[in-house]
């Protein structure tokens, strides 16, 4: 992968007010313990508990044996907690994920968290963000249709589902340049057959390097009812023995 030294000043405005953004669940837990030393605080994430332990922690929180519960997205989904205050830290992180679903998933997650404390007249939901004007965060204060109309408009402009079908071709090899050159050839061949389709890449995959192999991909945006199996098999057949290959309908990362 590529490594770049940390910038000391912004190359655009030359400001030196640059800092790393990101905080772990464990850090939040420690900070809360210092702020509220008398409160019973527990952490719930994939690193801290197994499934059985998670169920126990959730039961204790529901029975008010725990005052403050800190966790990842797993504490927001599918649980009926009796709480008056909920908080989401760095809500921007979900909006920056490289996925066409990022806005929808972030909106739904925040709505779920708001619902935990929204049952009470004096309930409070706190959202930390560096971009208060983002349309997703603005839409939280309006009816759902406000979010839907903006999101569906953006997807139509970018030709994302439900207006298209996405096909994700990922390949792995020990040499990154080989992947780029080969995927570029495949892209050209696909374009010759279907010039009207949108083909993005080659680009590094979400996990660009693992177990000694580089991962790159192409993303195809095609009409919803398109069947490219014959075309893909014909073009990719001659490459399949040279490196790992995976073809999927795509619904997450680009």
HEC string for 90-110: CCHHHHCCCECCHHHHHHHHH
Window from 28-37, 70-79, 184-193 with minimum mean pLDDT = 70-79
- The residue that leads in pLDDT, 97 or 218, is 218
- What token pair was written down for 183? 């995927």
Q: What is the mean pLDDT of the chain?
A: 86
Closest of 51, 135, 61, 119 to residue 85, by C-alpha: 119
pLDDT of residue 23: 61
What residues does each domain of the chain span?
25-157, 165-249
H or E stretch covering 214 = strand 213-222
* pLDDT tens digits for range 12-26: 888 888 776 556 888
H or E stretch covering 251 = none
pLDDT at 1 over 90: no
Q: Which CATH number fits domain 25-157: 3.30.930.10, 3.20.20.370, 3.40.50.1860, 3.40.50.300?
A: 3.40.50.300
- What secondary structure does DSSP assign to 115-167, as a single string? HHHTTSTT-EEEE--S-TT-HHHHHTTS-HHHHHHHHHHHHHHHT-TTSSEEE
pLDDT of residue 254: 42
pLDDT at 48 over 90: no
Window from 49-53, 166-170, 189-193 with minimum mean pLDDT = 49-53
Superfamily for domain range 165-249: ACT domain (3.30.70.260)
The reported pTM is 0.79
Backbone angles phi, psi at 143, to 5 degrees: -60, 155
pLDDT of residue 107: 96
pLDDT at 173 over 70: yes
């Amino acid at each position: 992968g590529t490594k770049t030294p940390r910038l000391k000043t912004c190359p655009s405005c030359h400001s030196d007010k640059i800092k790393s953004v990101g905080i772990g669940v464990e850090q939040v837990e420690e900070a809360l313990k210092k702020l509220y030393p008398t409160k019973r605080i527990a952490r719930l994430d994939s690193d801290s508990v197994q499934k059985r332990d998670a169920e126990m922690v959730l039961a204790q929180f529901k029975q008010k044996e725990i005052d403050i519960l800190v966790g990842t997205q797993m504490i927001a989904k599918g649980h009926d907690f009796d709480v008056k205050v909920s908080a989401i830290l760095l809500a921007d992180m979900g909006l920056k994920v490289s996925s066409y679903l990022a806005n929808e998933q972030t909106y739904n997650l925040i709505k779920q968290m708001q619902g935990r404390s929204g049952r009470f007249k004096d309930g409070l939901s706190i959202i930390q963000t560096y971009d208060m004007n983002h349309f997703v965060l603005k839409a939280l204060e309006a009816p759902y249709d406000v979010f839907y109309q903006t999101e569906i408009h953006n997807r139509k402009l970018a030709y994302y589902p439900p207006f298209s079908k996405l096909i994700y071709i990922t390949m792995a090899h020990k040499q990154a340049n080989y992947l780029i050159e080969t995927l570029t050839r495949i892209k050209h061949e696909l374009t010759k057959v279907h010039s009207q389709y949108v083909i993005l890449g080659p680009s590094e995959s979400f996990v660009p390097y693992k177990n000694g192999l580089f991962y790159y991909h192409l993303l195809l945006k095609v009409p919803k009812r398109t069947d490219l199996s014959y075309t893909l098999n014909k073009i990719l057949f001659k490459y399949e023995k040279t490196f790992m290959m995976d073809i999927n309908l795509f619904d997450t990362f680009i």
